[in-house]
Structure 1
Amino acid sequence: MRLTRRTRLRSRLRRSASAGLCAAALAVVATPPGTAAGATASERPRTGRHLIGRHLIGWHLTATGSDARFRGLAAVSRGTAWAAGSKGTVLRTVDGGRDWRNVSPPGAGELEFRDVEAFDARRAVVLAIGEGEASRVFRTEDGGATWTESFRNTDPRAFYDCMTFFDRWHGLAMSDPVDGKFRILATDDGGGSWTVLPSDGMPPAQAGEAGFAASGQCLVSSGPRDVWLATGGAATARVLHSLDRGRTWTVADSTIPAGDPAKGVFAVAFRDRTHGLAVGGDYRADQASPRAAAVSRDGGRTWTQPQRPPTAYRSGVTWLPAFRAAAIAVGPTGSDLTVDAGRTWHTFGTGSFDTVDCTQDLACWASGEKGRIARLSR
């Protein structure tokens, strides 16, 4: 039977992993200086890195025309992606990043968007974070030409961090603990309206425990009902799991260090309802993060330390579709690749990114400070 391109890539990855190419070279493919805002000398072509199959991978910066920090990112397809960030900024591309259009909600300049969930080129939901009324949700059905504010937090004790959708209709958002428990907001109409779920099934939070609104990945879902919530800031960095769309939760300790408001699990990603990755560490630039990742093979019930974790704090992580054992993690000091489901990680770029997302048609995007949005080249 004739192999498709995706099948060939998958078979090459398996061959490279079995042959031990994790110790081989990788080359970074980058935009030449001056072609995209935010490009640095550290991203110019260099050698001595790593291969995935026969493909050299690296980030190709795109020109956004913005200096916002984009911690929210939704990859829809090879052509379409959305980014949400500081100063109330929302960008959208429908041509693979050649052109980014500013589709920000009018009057949102004082808001901090930290998460965006998009269903196609026209429909998207964005989350603004902050105490009290600073936490809001906006929704568009016409590619950002118009927006509707569908939720505004009126509880001064709540601070919403992240959101996730199971499908185009059903989604959740999470707030830092209120009355000793994380608060969950739910929608069943694509973000048009939201309801606070009962807290009876939520375990008590630790003293000082919270989510990190760093990448839009402190709350993630896989499949029609499973959702995970990542925490930090307390004595133990934990991952909570719900099997019923946020009604009831179980909790597990991760291996990522905590014990400080700046430490913990910043992002999680699940390939399916069983295989998960967590990344984080200490976000302070002058502090080391020697155990910045964890791996789960049982749906988040237990977490183990990688043999070779990323060398620094990482705020975003995603699996690469079609490659069952491959994933990418990003942070302010660089990007890392694993081809063995998180057991070992290898740095392949030093540019700064906050979050990363991939699509089923093998398009991966990363975004971060100073208007930086990049697409993975191979």
Structure 2
Amino acid sequence: MRRLGNSRRTVRTARVRRAGRVAAVAAACGAALAVLTAVPAQAHDPVWAYDPAQAHGPAWALKDTGTPSVRFRGLAAVDRHTAWVAGSQGTVVLTTDGGRSWRNVSPPGAAALQFRDVEAFDARRAVVLAIGEGEASRVYRTDDGGATWTESFRNTDARAFFDCLTFFDRRHGLAMSDPVDGRFRILSTSDGGRTWTVLPTTGMPPALDGEAGFAAGGQCLVSAGSRDVWLATGGAARARVLHSADRGLTWTATDAPIPAGDPARGVFALAFRDRAHGLAVGGDHRPDQPSPQAAATTADAGRTWRPATTPPPDYRSGVTWLPHSRTAALAVGPTGTDLTTDAGRTWRTLDTGSYDTVDCAPDLGCWASGEQGRVARLEG
């Protein structure tokens, strides 16, 4: 029998080196997070939240993607160096050098599609979702950094319209469609997106009249841990969040205190830092309509939601927790970016640039994307 390794010393040395790398990353993240959420002696808000022009902390730094006609609503932050972005005109771009350069890795023949979500495992493996009625809803997968793509799902039901996807790990994931026959439709994969199966709807509660998901920033379906997943809705008399603790087989629905009662209103994005603590943002996506009370929080896996006491000032379509923080998060929308440092109870605007979605990686690599080819990384 061949020996694997030559001594305990080798294992111990590897563990020490690994621990050193983890400690270095944690220290860097902690320092950056401390700057971002710093509080002056006479205030209770982030030191740079009121006047970004005078800020001395992290801020969005735009990265030229070379695609000014594309709106990027799909985003996956792998780390500070690597990010996948997907959007209109069937466009997918990838950076592996922190945004200094971008490769157009769009699937061939996809120019007529609207990509609204992308989930990436690393710089080589990613899954993208195209939205739309009937066959416009598709899923593509790459294992070679976008050099080649495989179409792994094409919707053939004219009644279905897929909005978002999420992965629990590198193998298990879900995608969701607006209601078909009165219930949201869920796709499931157990092989990293290579094949997909429609789950039975027996465990899905009936949809409300007019209820649907919003394919606005790839965050209407999100997961935390190995089995928990949440689905955000709008368009009906009440905005709701549906939760499943068994990878989409059974669901419970809870009303969310987010503006509703119109097809343009509801919960647009969710973020969970663990299986209990979550954030919801949304409102009314029409630019001429106000969006009061467009943020909410939960501390019990979505069984109950509380409105933010000081919500963002406008509609928001993307939200993410800052890594290694129990209280800090970012929300974005067409009129700006907001920061919370108290787990979503109060928000303060720190940037007025237009973004549709936001995502952070464990090494504090935070990215945002939106209209006119806009992609930015949090720097400072």
> What whole-Å deviation, never above 9, does each CA across 1:269-314 have from its counterpart, x for those lacking one?
0000010000000000000001110111111000001110000000
Give the equivalent residue in structure 1 for 2:301.
299
**Which residue identity lines up with residue 155 of structure 1 in the other structure?**
D
Give the equivalent residue in structure 2 for 1:173.
175
**Which residue identity lines up with residue 79 of structure 1 in the other structure?**
H
* 1:57–1:377 Cα contact (<8 Å) kept: yes
Aligned residues: 356
- Give the alignment's Cα RMSD to 1 decimal: 1.9
Give the equivalent residue in structure 2 for 1:260.
262
Does residue 56 in structure 1 map to residue 62 in structure 2? no
Q: Distance in 1 between matches of 2:297 and 2:333?
A: 18
**Which residue identity lines up with residue 73 of structure 1 in the other structure?**
L
Q: Which runs of 5+ in 1 are unaligned?
A: 29-44, 50-54
Shift of 1:5: 3.1
Give the equivalent residue in structure 2 for 1:112.
114
**Which residue identity lines up with residue 103 of structure 2 in the other structure?**
R
**Which residue identity lines up with residue 191 of structure 1 in the other structure?**
G
Q: Which runs of 5+ in 2 are unaligned?
A: 1-22
Shift of 1:244: 0.3
* 2:50–2:348 Cα contact (<8 Å) kept: no
- Structure 1 residues 336 and 188, CA gap change in structure 2 (3 angstroms): same
* 1:310–1:345 Cα contact (<8 Å) kept: yes
Q: Distance in 1 between matches of 2:313 and 2:276?
A: 25
Shift of 1:78: 1.1
* 2:292–2:314 Cα contact (<8 Å) kept: yes
**Which residue identity lines up with residue 46 of structure 1 in the other structure?**
A
- Structure 1 residues 350 and 134, CA gap change in structure 2 (3 angstroms): same
Give the equivalent residue in structure 1 for 2:155.
153
Q: Distance in 2 between matches of 1:248 and 1:312?
A: 33
Q: Distance in 2 between matches of 1:27 and 1:57?
A: 14
**Which residue identity lines up with residue 337 of structure 2 in the other structure?**
S
> What whole-Å deviation, never above 9, does each CA across 1:309-367 have from its counterpart, x for those lacking one?
00000000000001220000000000000000001000001110000000000010000
Q: Distance in 2 between matches of 1:333 and 1:271?
A: 25
* 1:13–1:323 Cα contact (<8 Å) kept: no
**Which residue identity lines up with residue 58 of structure 1 in the other structure?**
A
> What whole-Å deviation, never above 9, does each CA across 1:209-228 have from its counterpart, x for those lacking one?
00000000000000000000
Give the equivalent residue in structure 2 for 1:239.
241
* 1:72–1:115 Cα contact (<8 Å) kept: yes
Alignment of structure 1 residues 58-97 onto 2, 5 Å: 58-66=59-67, 67-97=69-99
* 2:39–2:46 Cα contact (<8 Å) kept: no
Give the equivalent residue in structure 1 for 2:53.
46
Does residue 4 in structure 1 map to residue 52 in structure 2? no
Shift of 1:24: 4.0
Local SS of the residue matching 1:299: coil
- Structure 1 residues 355 and 11, CA gap change in structure 2 (3 angstroms): closer
Q: Distance in 2 between matches of 1:10 and 1:134?
A: 41
**Which residue identity lines up with residue 310 of structure 1 in the other structure?**
P
Alignment of structure 1 residues 126-205 onto 2, 5 Å: 126-205=128-207
Give the equivalent residue in structure 2 for 1:227.
229
* 2:36–2:58 Cα contact (<8 Å) kept: no
**Which residue identity lines up with residue 137 of structure 2 in the other structure?**
S
Q: Distance in 2 between matches of 1:11 and 1:346?
A: 17
> What whole-Å deviation, never above 9, does each CA across 1:146-199 have from its counterpart, x for those lacking one?
000000000000000000000010000000000000000000000000000000
Identify which of 2, 8, 16 aligns with 2:39: 16
* 2:290–2:314 Cα contact (<8 Å) kept: yes
If you compute each CA radius of gyration, which structure gives the higher value, 1 or 2?
2
What percent of counterpart residues are identical?
A: 69
* 1:17–1:339 Cα contact (<8 Å) kept: no
Local SS of the residue matching 1:190: coil
Which 10-residue stretch deviates more, 9-18 or 86-95? 9-18
Shift of 1:20: 4.0
Give the equivalent residue in structure 1 for 2:213.
211
- Structure 1 residues 148 and 166, CA gap change in structure 2 (3 angstroms): same
* 2:359–2:367 Cα contact (<8 Å) kept: yes
Local SS of the residue matching 1:330: strand
* 2:48–2:350 Cα contact (<8 Å) kept: no
Which 10-residue stretch deviates more, 230-239 or 57-66? 57-66
> So what's the TM-score if we normalise by structure 1?
0.91
> So what's the TM-score if we normalise by structure 2?
0.90
Q: Distance in 2 between matches of 1:97 and 1:23?
A: 27
Q: Distance in 2 between matches of 1:75 and 1:69?
A: 17
Shift of 1:377: 1.4
